[in-house]
Chains A and B, each alone.
Chain A
Amino acid sequence: MNNLILNNSVRFLALVLLQVLVLNHLNLFGYLNPIVYIVWVVLFPIRKNKSIFLILSFLLGLSIDFFSDSGGINAAATLFIAFIRLPVLKIVLKKTDFDYLLFNLRAISFGKAFLFITILTFIHHFIIFSLTYFSLDSFSTIISNTILTSIITIIISILGIILFTKKK
């Protein structure tokens, strides 16, 4: 249990620093900055009591907002995907109930894990870009930014998950 808390705290700090010090200045192809910190939300262990998880996700988004001067945009988006994570997982796995304690993202098939990460990333990025631009005029910009950034985020997230987590 202690190991779990330590693991998630280290991951929290490492992802925030990685995001604000490296990835926010990456500017791939001139303007694409992958938003990889949401891997924390994907990897957080699933428990019945999720109030801690919701509060921590909110704080994760808020700490990114502190660094990038974006009000509460990241907090709002991260909290939203944290809230819909379990329903999405249930739909992806086509199960209504499963063993919460033993669940491990690496244990399910790659296709399903990929789908799960893709859905969460798309929703998160869409909320971020809609709130940043906040006008219907720039709808095409929002969509193109969402899709392009999501692709890069998903690639980096999956590589990171494969490299840094143990397969059980």
Chain B
Amino acid sequence: MQQLIYFIRKFKYFLLFILLESIAFIFIIQHHSFHKSKFINSSNYITGGIYNTVSSINDFFYLKSENHRLIEENIRLRNLLNKSELNLNKDTFILNDSSKYGQKYKYSFAKIINNNFTKRNNTLTLNKGTNQGITADLGVINSNGIIGVTKSTSKNYSTVLSILNKNSKINVRLKNSNHYGTLIWNGKDYNILQLIDIPRQAKIKVGDTIITGGKSAIFPEGIKIGTIKNFKFESNQYKNIDIELFNDMSSIGYVQIVKNLERIEQQNLETSILNE
């Protein structure tokens, strides 16, 4: 017993070091599993508050570009509206099918108060949380494409797993065919993402547009993401497909949050199939 106490006394700093270092490693490991990082994240009261204050100052410098993006989106939506009027006028009979009025996606907006894009694993912080109806696993988009998926939330803030992250895997498809793939990031250039798992039957060429696939229950189908920049076709397989984003991930201000109202229904159905 005496020797044990002597041992602890002699190596007390080293033991303290080992203890704290293991705590740090537990945090790191927890952070990598998707839902467990409840403790160390920037969505808590203090960090969220500080980021919120600073971003309200920074906002003034981005008013111009933000306005520009809003005008562009307005024009796009106005064009869509005109198109749908045209389509409606062609039909002589209008059928009011009540089942088609069920709303599938609900949109709300939030502001990015902390953005990083140069690290290997990037996360963003939003100025809305559970009080405003934000939960984990909601899609985050803006008018130029997708940004990420919400991860952890507090009362008034939430963090977003950016598409510029090792753990981000987004289901996408080619716009002109129904071949699905997965969008990942290799950590090099924040404007270039990588497309994998494209079947070799797919015919792709440089400049093809990539949109979100409807497979995942997070993003609605058909959101534009980017275009194919270059690719290789080796030993009957596509390799190194680089996607250039429409979005500038270094400058994003206001974003839209997509809530899939039929998500639980879809997931229950899919798990029931898996269980059979």
Query: Which residue numbers of A lie inside 8 Å of B, CB to CB?
Result: 17, 20-21, 24-25, 27, 30-33, 50-51, 54-55, 58, 61-62, 65-73, 75-76, 79-80, 83, 131-133, 138, 141
Contacts and interface: CB of A to CB of B under 8 A. Distances in A.
Contacts of B17: 54, 79, 83
Interface stretch (B20-28, B136-144, B213-221): B20-28
Contact of A75 (B24, B118, B120, B123): B24
Contacts of B50: 17, 20-21, 67
A65 B159 CA distance: 14
A20 B29 CA distance: 22
A27 B118 contact: yes
A11 B171 CA distance: 46
Contacts of B260: none
Contacts of B24: 58, 61-62, 72-73, 75-76, 79
B127 interface: no
Interface stretch (B39-47, B81-89, B233-241): B39-47
Contacts of B12: 51
Given A30-B118, A69-B159, A76 B21 contact: yes
Interface string B242-260: 0000000010000000000
Contact of A67 (B28, B47, B121): B47
A92 B265 CA distance: 65
12 contacts: A31-B118, A54-B20, A55-B16, A58-B20, A66-B42, A67-B51, A67-B114, A68-B42, A72-B40, A79-B17, A79-B20, A80-B21
B116 A72 contact: no
B6 interface: no
A25 B116 contact: yes
B37 interface: yes
Contacts of B116: 24-25, 68
Contacts of A132: 119-121
Contacts of B32: 71
A89 to B, nearest CB: 15
Interface residues of B, number: 38
Interface string B1-40: 0000000000011101100110111111111100001001
B119 A65 contact: no
A73 B120 CA distance: 13
Contacts of A17: 50
Contacts of A55: 16, 20
B16 A72 contact: no
Interface in B205-231: none
Contact of A72 (B13, B27, B44): B27
Contacts of B26: 72
Interface in B35-70: 37, 40-42, 44, 46-47, 50-51, 54
B250 to A, nearest CB: 8
Contact of B187 (A20, A68, A71, A138): A138
A75 B42 contact: no
Given A24-B116, A51-B13, A72 B23 contact: yes
A157 to B, nearest CB: 20
Contacts of A65: 27, 40
Contact of A141 (B16, B123, B187): B187
**Most A CB within 10 A of own CB, among B13, B17, B46:** B17
Nearest to B31: A71
Interface in B149-200: 159, 187
Given A66-B44, A70-B40, A76-B28, 10 more contacts: A27-B118, A58-B24, A62-B27, A66-B46, A67-B47, A68-B116, A70-B119, A72-B28, A73-B28, A83-B13
B31 A70 contact: yes
B196 to A, nearest CB: 15
